[in-house]
Amino acid sequence: MTSRLTIAIQKSGRLSKESLALLKACGVKFSINDARLIAHSTSHNIDLLRVRDDDIPGLVMDGVVDLGLVGENVLEEARLEREATAMNANFVALRSLEFGHCRLSLAVPKEAQERGLAQLNGARIATTYPRLLQRYLQQQQIAARSVVLTGSVEVAPRAGLADAVCDLVSTGATLEANGLVETDVVFRSQAQLIQTAELSDPNKLALINQLLPRVDGVQLAKE
């Protein structure tokens, strides 16, 4: 039996729709049942694994799936975390994709008088990305504490949990709605197509080689 290529994509979130659209535009057909984690392609030997985006880098690095579609923000945070904890952080970056553009930014309550980076010395900063945040602060020689929250980061200052936030911004609507003003860009991100480092199955490699030119075609059409 021919082995099936497994691709991890975000189940629900900013990358989901466009990840599915990209695969569709590449001619990969499947029907998604929202209750199911796995979707089998009806046109190719491909299985889609629909998971939380935060889990995608680890699944690829551990070789649990062959390919992943994930934001650079999540990918780089996971890579730094794994490096720091002596875990395998290897993967192959195949393509940067023309969707999922966003930035990880520092933001402070709009009432804050001084908005310079130096004001963050000694501050508590709420974030889901402590490694990316601390790398940036170190480069800027700022000593601040991170308060790690996996969600609702934008309400942390109002709740008295933090003085500032370091969160993803795309339209800026979330910051605006929470009375926060963006002050510094920490990391710029877009979606990436990544592959597990040790892939030797010839059927899978052939399938990837068939898909990549199609991915490139779709990207070119978007430019």
Residues at the interface with ligand PRP (CB under 6 A): 13-14, 151, 153-154, 167-174
Where do the H-state alpha helices sit in the chain? 16-25, 56-61, 72-84, 130-139, 173-177, 202-222
Question: How many CB atoms sit inside 10 A of residue 35's CB?
Answer: 5
Kindly state the smallest distance separating residue 46's Cβ from ligand PRP, in Å: 25
Lookup: tokens for 120? 């963050």
Question: How many CB atoms sit inside 10 A of residue 93's CB?
Answer: 11
Burial class (CB in 10 A: 0-12, 13-18, 19+), 181: middle
Among 18, 53, 72, 77, binds Zn ion (CB under 5 A): 53
The helix/strand/coil state of 203 is helix
Kindly state the smallest distance separating residue 170's Cβ from ligand PRP, in Å: 4
Per partner kind, with CB cut-offs from 5 to 8 A, the member of ligand PRP, Zn ion, none near residue 170 is ligand PRP
Per partner kind, with CB cut-offs from 5 to 8 A, the member of ligand PRP, Zn ion, none near residue 160 is none
Residue closest to Zn ion when measured from CB atoms = 53
Kindly state the smallest distance separating residue 166's Cβ from ligand PRP, in Å: 10
Kindly state the smallest distance separating residue 182's Cβ from ligand PRP, in Å: 9
Closest CA to 23 of 36, 51, 37, 42: 42
Per partner kind, with CB cut-offs from 5 to 8 A, the member of Zn ion, ligand PRP, none near residue 151 is ligand PRP
Kindly state the smallest distance separating residue 58's Cβ from ligand PRP, in Å: 15
Q: Indicate the residue among 56 and 211 with the shorter CB distance to Zn ion.
A: 56
The footprint of Zn ion (CB under 5 A) covers 53
